[in-house]
Amino acid sequence: MARESQGNIVNDNDEVSVREIIVKIIDWWRYLLSKWLIILACGALGGALGFTYAYFKKPVYTATTTFVLEDQKSTGLGSLAGLASIAGVDIGGAGGGLFQGENILSLYKSRAMLQKTLLTPIEINGKKLLLIDLYIDINKLREKWKAKPELVNLEFSSNEGIQSKRLVNSLRIQDSILGVVVTDINRSYLQVTKPDKKLSTIEVDVKATDEAFAKKLNDELVKNVNQFYLNTKTKKTLQNVNILQHKTDSVRAVMNGAIYSAAAVADATPNLNPTRQVQRIAPVQRSQFSAETNKAILSSLVQNLEMSKLSLMKEMPLLEIIDRPIYPLSVEKTSKFYGVIMGGFILGFLAILFFSIKRYLEIVIKD
């Protein structure tokens, strides 16, 4: 009997607890309903703000370039490299390069590449200007600089031109402005990704409110970075090729000169006195010896030159553009209907949250 009574008490307590929760929920709901006019006004205000935001927000254009990068490491040249090293010639070969793996992604974010791109001359509607000037125009920076005399008449050009025409102070101001612009582009405009880690494709996205700026920045940046990457990857081997080519051309010229010299000596003594053979034989043999010696040297140089060219071909990474940005660019616009719904929902929810917290504090203080 005692156990049954205790069970009934527990059930009664449970029923009371559930009843109290329901009563509190209903009371809370009635309280919020009493504020429906204010909540509705907040929702309407939020909808108006959302509509205004969507109306004045500029569309964002996206320029995308997709390319494939396959860095083929030099293989199969070990024996040829060994033979060349014996001859004292370095034809390059396998080994760590300056850029490995995905390091090209960091190149797109580097200040050097972005600064070079921003100082690239372009043509917009028949007018020639720099990319940095277009950036300044679309962001209306000239208007913000009116209060700063040192920035009002600031003009950008190549570093060489500035060093010859501008003072050090002007260079400092330009570098400062370029640093700020590069940081802003990295943060708000540029995105470089590798969509699939298993593939070698790289995607470069430039987003801007100006369609021409987005496309031009994307085109020039991809061209500058990819060219710099290719030149740097093959720089050492290319230097070796140029040196070997110069030496080969020099030895060939000397050999040809010796051959022509032997023939010229024979032509100069057509009716030579038999007792004066020294006038023909000595110069001819000297020229023939020089030609044979240079022929042997030329043979070795040509062999090393061809191996060096083969190494250069092996080290040249495969970099092929798959997709380029074309007009019209893809555009993102904020829907006015979406702005109204989201604005109304957010401000209405904040109003409900405000009254709920206020009601809760009133109950706590009262208790």
Binned at pLDDT 50, 70 and 90, residue 300 comes out as confident
Residues in contact with 218: Cβ distance below 8 Å, sequence separation at least 6, in sequence order: 63, 64, 65, 204, 205, 206, 325
Token pair recorded at residue 59: 């569309």
- Which one, of 175, 292, 316, 156, lies nearest residue 241 by Cα? 316
Mean pLDDT score, 291-304: 78
Q: Categorise residue 198: left if φ over 0, alpha if ψ from -120 to 50, beta otherwise.
A: alpha
Share of the chain above pLDDT 90, in %: 11
Report residue 269's pLDDT band, with 50, 70 and 90 as the boundaries: low
Q: Could you state, in order of their start, the residue ranges of all structural domains in the chain?
A: 26-56+334-366, 60-234+317-332, 239-315
Q: Strand pairing of 121-124 and 318-323?
A: unpaired
How far is 352 from 364, CA to CA, in rounded Å?
18
Instruction: Check if the beta carbon of residue 233 is closer than 8 Å to that of residue 315.
Output: yes
pLDDT (0 to 100) of residue 252: 80
- Tell me the per-residue pLDDT of 16-35, one tens digit each, with 9 for 90 and over: 577 777 877 888 788 888 88
Region 83-106: what's the mean pLDDT? 52
Q: How many residues does this entry show for the chain?
A: 367
- Residue of higher predicted confidence among 250 and 270: 250
- Write down the residue that tokens 């679309």 correspond to: 138
Question: Checking DSSP bridges between strand 330-332 and strand 318-323, what pairing results, if any?
Answer: unpaired
Task: Determine the pLDDT at residue 187.
Answer: 92
Q: What percent of the chain has pLDDT over 70?
A: 72
Mean pLDDT of the chain: 75
Q: Assess whether pLDDT exceeds 70 at residue 98.
A: no
Q: Decide: 319 and 229 in contact? Cβ < 8 Å.
A: yes
C-alpha to C-alpha distance for 75 and 146, rounded to whole angstroms: 60
Tokens of 151: 């920035």
What pLDDT does residue 93 have? 45
pLDDT at 218 over 60: yes
pTM over 0.75: no
Q: CA-CA distance, 268 to 258, in Å (whole number)?
A: 15
The rounded distance, in Å, linking the Cα atoms of 6 and 28 is 33
pLDDT of residue 337: 82
Name the one residue in this structure whose structure tokens are 């909540």: 39
Pairing mode, strands 318-323 and 201-208: unpaired
- Average pLDDT, stretch 136-160? 75
